[in-house]
Structure 1
């Protein structure tokens, strides 16, 4: 009897000691002392494999390893938990282990595995909080692989969840979903949805100030594409004024703002913003767009000499379609100044120097109008015939046909009768 009592006492003592070790390990876990918690929990699971709490201790130890930054070790430990111990865990811990495994897989560059793990998590009906996190993380992976429609659907699901269970989904998760949805919709050229998502992000109290400039840029670009230039200008101006904006974002915003102001016929403001761009970003690869925009704004303020000087910079330093258009605008400026022979010379250069049918047709058509103003109707009709024959599918060919159908004006001897 005494021996039995001693044995029972020893078992109780061991059980108390084991329970105490587990309580201490879990206390470290709850205190977020991740390295110590991982060591204590994994040691407990290894030394007490038959304890009913061993599986839970191993799962929490693996999670703690991940949160301590030991990503590679955590990945191996979590993979073992998911492969061998998942059914022994309460559902909430199953879900946490799956989410943490997906996180380590992402950190190790295992995107496909991470996506599969997150899909498994979402099928397991996790809590709204964890589901929202899983949806946003899976959407990011889908974005990176180019599956933008799938990503957008996942993000809309996350936003619906945040709306229906606002207390369960952190504001930061909703903000992240809005931002990523805005990016997806913009890349999909669904500009109205992109603008609304990014504007909601900018208004959200949990939005990241560091991302505000890029969000405003996407929203502004989207409003521009929708032809909503007042709204676009306001958003693009926010980017330029934000000290946290990246240099490239500021440059892009300036270009688009200059274009928006031109569309609004706010010519002086457009001139100022294009000049500012050229002053701040003289070596930017898209300098020629700003240089052309500067000329366009000056031309519409009847400052033709300055406009010609601006266009000439594009013609001299750029070889693309914008140069062809700049050459055309030089001719148009001279035409408006009634320098008709000079205008003809510059307009014909568009066809001679560049291989852009639309602008060749434009230059020839306008040269014909100059010849008409010079009272050289045959030369004018020759140019219009050339437009019709060489560029029949252009809008300029339609205009040229209309001109050719009109009777030739001839000066009568002795003056008008």
Structure 2
């Protein structure tokens, strides 16, 4: 049974992230991770730390934090959970911001391939693949990815965004 202080510290860090106090959130999450090493919410805190770092544009540090959510040993199968999916997706976002497009593409492909049961994250990953292709000025492949989002994930926000990108590509925007 988690104690009250543990719960309060995690909620404080989450609130700091939500209100844009990313530096404070980072400190609160790190304190949580150091204090509650066996907490059932350790993965929440790891993700939150990565997110706070990412929002401060400390992309490499954020990637290192998100990587903690992935299995350390590739041969050891960990049960896929939302933290693994979100962590891998956010690693892709960080790499995209670092303009490491091929590595970012690899992360998004991994989310799409491995995140069955998380269609919203898959949709967002395919959308980001399309964005990378647009950045690389490969409009044909980018269009294919955007159409794929709409076809495979029609009821998602990503599909709406993909349609906007398609319209821009068609009008030469």
Normalization by structure 2: what TM-score? Answer: 0.89
Structure 1 distance, partners of 2:135, 2:171, is 11
- Give per-residue Cα distances to partners, 1:339-378, cap 9 Å, x unaligned: 1111111111111111200000001101110111011112
Structure 1 distance, partners of 2:42, 2:102, is 31
Post-superposition offset of 1:329:
0.4
Structure 2 residue 88 is the aligned partner of structure 1 residue 333: no
Post-superposition offset of 1:254:
1.4
Q: How does 1:274-313 map to 2 (within 5 A)?
A: 274-313=29-68
CA contact (8 A) 2:143 2:169 kept: no
CA contact (8 A) 1:328 1:363 kept: yes
Structure 2 residue 109 is the aligned partner of structure 1 residue 354: no
Structure 1 distance, partners of 2:136, 2:24, is 36
Picking from 1, 16, 21, the partner of 1:261 is: 16
Structure 2 residue 129 is the aligned partner of structure 1 residue 367: yes
TM-align CA RMSD: 1.7
Q: How does 1:100-179 map to 2 (within 5 A)?
A: none
SS at match of 1:315: coil
Number of aligned residues: 165
Post-superposition offset of 1:247:
5.4
* Alignment partner, residue 26 of structure 2: 271
Structure 2 distance, partners of 1:349, 1:409, is 31
Gaps of 5+ in 1: 1-245, 411-417
SS at match of 1:389: helix
Structure 2 distance, partners of 1:247, 1:364, is 38
Name the structure, 1 or 2, with higher relative contact order (CA <8 Å, separation 6+): 2
Normalization by structure 1: what TM-score? Answer: 0.38
Gaps of 5+ in 2: 73-77
Post-superposition offset of 1:408:
4.7
